[in-house]
């Protein structure tokens, strides 16, 4: 007979090649805490329902606590021939406490057990990522306060478009990462249901109390259908999709920092301690952090693709393929956590070059829209106004000058309604401050948005 915990019906011992190929303990050992918490709750419920004696449950809980302590101390030996975290812990328990240990797995399967471990793990990760996102958002809010009033070019197509406040740009990221928090919150609601009691796929005939286990583990309720539960990885896919969106946002931020730190833009200084040099070019100071964050977005998107493809052809319910879900999930968690925390540190320490930002707003005809709006106020239809200003810009390009350096007389050649009040409209600050629509870039609106953000982040 096979020595395996499931070996009763096997005549041969397992091939070493299969053991090596199928083991997951080298990565799923990371779930030990959740596996043990789940077993404690399961045992407690079994005892309450007469399936374990008081002594047995006490032994089981103490045994599990001892195993957890050993794992944390680094003295627990994980065994590959025991395949996964579930059997490593169960076997150790049986060795430590004897017969009671063998009773723990009643009314349970590794199928609902792994679903439980993963849900508990991801529930915690939702909370951790939310904290990290909050740290990053606070860094944006603090910088927006520091630089309130500084102007810069706003871009579309990476071409200078209209002047904006730097703080408005920074608070755009505060909003973006706020949606990521909301997405995780929503994802967490679907994670937070207890799968235990689904057993292998069909439920169990033993007298268990699923609601009690859910309550002990802090779940909001239990899953509804045992077959769905055994094969469901939607929650993991959804979680990794949240991760992909976060990393995508970080990557866009990273791209801007790389551009802005380069001499062509020269908008921001990344502190030396966050940059590296070149082994050959002595003058180099490279923005490695944002570059790596941008590069790592490929990994996280890849993890999401792996999971989608993993699940797409699976029949209900549990299939061993599902063991392949763990590594992409863990890699996404590790990558996003590390990226969020280092980017928060970097953003908090950015030094913006406000004179450079300001200087960049004085060319590129960025107040052209303001001039068109000025004409609209003087009752010129917008399309006509657009044409007039376009011709004025073409004239400036020809003459190699800026809008605000034209004389009133020159401008009046294009439209007689233009008057000397036009010069207010052509100033950068006038342009910014005119944008008072909700969500706009005027100092008034940005000050309000900043105040709301500070309040929301508990920063005042």
Report how many helices (DSSP H) and strands (DSSP E) the chain contains, helices first.
Answer: 19, 6
Active site (annotated) includes residue 278: yes
| Calpha distance 193→216 (Å, rounded) | 12
Which helix (H) or strand (E) element contains residue 22? Answer: helix 16-22
- Applying CB under 6 A, does 198 fall inside the site for ligand ARG? no
| CA gap 128, 224 in Å, rounded | 27
59/84 with CB nearer ligand ARG:
84
Residue with smaller CB distance to ligand ARG, 111 or 251: 111
Considering the candidates 2, 22, 278, 363, report the single residue annotated as catalytic. Answer: 278
- What's the Rg (C-alpha) of the chain? 31
Stretch that binds ligand ARG, among 201-209, 264-272, 317-325, 414-422 (CB under 6 A): 317-325
157 catalytic residue (yes or no): yes
Smaller CB separation from ligand ARG, 5 or 457: 5
Q: How far is Cα 175 from Cα 233, in angstroms, rounded to an integer?
A: 29
Residue with Cβ nearer ligand ARG (250 or 310): 310
d(CA 238, CA 184): 9
Rounded Cα–Cα distance for residues 112 and 201 (Å) = 8
Q: Which stretch binds ligand ARG (CB under 6 A): 51-59, 137-145, 214-222, 314-322?
A: 314-322
Question: Does residue 111 touch ligand ARG according to CB under 6 A?
Answer: yes
H-only helix segments in 201-281: 210-216, 226-231, 234-261
Question: Partners of 269 in the beta sheet?
Answer: 351
Both tokens assigned to 384: 């006509």
Tell me, residue by residue from 131 to 170, as one string, x for binding to ligand ARG by CB under 6 A and - for no binding. ----------------------------------------
d(CA 16, CA 6): 16
- x/- mask, ligand ARG, residues 8-47, rule CB under 6 A, reads ----------------x---x-------------------
Binding residue for ligand ARG, selected from 84, 90, 238, 370, defined by CB under 6 A: 84
CB of 44 to ligand ARG, least distance (A): 22
- Does position 110 interact with ligand ARG (CB under 6 A)? The reply is yes
Q: Is 317 in the site for ligand ARG (CB under 6 A)?
A: no
Using rule CB under 6 A, residue 320 touches ligand ARG: yes
Asked whether position 306 contacts ligand ARG by CB under 6 A, the answer is: no
370 binds ligand ARG (CB under 6 A): no
Q: Nearest 5°: phi and psi at 136?
A: -65, -40
Q: In whole angstroms, give the CA distance from residue 22 to residue 457.
A: 46
**Applying CB under 6 A, does 114 fall inside the site for ligand ARG?**
yes
Tokens of 72: 């944390």
How many whole angstroms separate alpha carbon 338 and alpha carbon 239? 17
Binding site for ligand ARG (CB under 6 A): 24, 28, 84, 110-111, 114, 318, 320, 322-323
Please identify every residue annotated as catalytic. 157, 278
């Amino acid at each position: 007979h096979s020595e395996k915990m499931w070996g009763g019906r096997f005549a041969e011992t397992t091939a070493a090649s299969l053991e090596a190929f199928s083991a997951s303990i080298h990565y799923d050992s990371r779930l030990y805490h959740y596996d043990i918490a789940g077993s404690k709750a399961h045992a407690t419920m079994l005892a309450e329902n007469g399936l374990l004696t008081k002594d047995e449950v006490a032994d089981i809980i103490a045994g599990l606590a001892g195993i957890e302590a050993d794992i944390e101390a680094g003295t627990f030996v994980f065994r590959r021939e025991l395949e996964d975290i579930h059997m490593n812990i169960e076997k150790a328990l049986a060795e430590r406490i004897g017969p009671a240990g063998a009773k723990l797995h009643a009314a349970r399967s590794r199928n609902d057990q792994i679903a439980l471990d993963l849900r508990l793990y991801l529930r915690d990760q939702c909370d951790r990522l939310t904290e990290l996102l909050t740290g990053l958002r606070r860094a944006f809010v603090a910088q927006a306060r520091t630089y309130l009033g500084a102007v810069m070019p706003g871009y579309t197509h990476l071409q200078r478009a209209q002047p904006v406040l730097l703080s408005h740009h920074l608070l755009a990221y505060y909003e973006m990462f706020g949606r990521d928090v909301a997405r995780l919150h929503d994802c967490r609601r679907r994670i937070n249901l207890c799968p235990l009691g689904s057993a292998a796929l069909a439920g169990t005939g033993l007298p268990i109390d699923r609601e009690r286990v859910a309550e002990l583990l802090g779940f909001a309720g239990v899953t509804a259908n045992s077959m769905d539960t055994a094969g469901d990885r939607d929650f993991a896919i959804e979680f990794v999709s949240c991760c992909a969106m976060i990393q995508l946002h970080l990557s866009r931020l990273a791209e801007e920092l790389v551009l802005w730190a380069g001499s062509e833009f020269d908008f921001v200084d990344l502190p030396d301690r966050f940059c590296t040099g070149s082994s050959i070019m002595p003058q180099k100071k490279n923005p490695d952090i944002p570059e790596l964050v941008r590069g790592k977005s490929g990994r996280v998107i890849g993890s999401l693709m792996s999971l989608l493809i993993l699940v797409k052809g699976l029949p209900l319910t549990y299939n061993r393929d599902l063991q392949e879900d763990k590594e992409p999930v863990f890699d996404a968690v590790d990558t996003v956590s590390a990226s969020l925390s280092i980017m928060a540190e970097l953003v908090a320490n950015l030094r913006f070059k406000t004179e450079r930002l300001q200087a960049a707003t004085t060319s590129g005809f960025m107040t052209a829209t303001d001039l068109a709006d000025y004409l609209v106020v003087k009752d010129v239809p917008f399309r006509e106004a657009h044409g007039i200003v376009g011709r004025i810009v073409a004239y400036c390009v020809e003459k190699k000058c800026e809008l605000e350096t034209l004389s009133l007389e020159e401008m009046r050649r294009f439209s007689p309604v233009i008057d000397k009040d036009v010069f207010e409209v052509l100033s950068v600050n006038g342009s910014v401050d005119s944008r008072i629509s909700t969500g706009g870039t005027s100092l008034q609106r940005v000050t309000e948005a900043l105040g709301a953000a500070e309040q929301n982040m508990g920063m005042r």
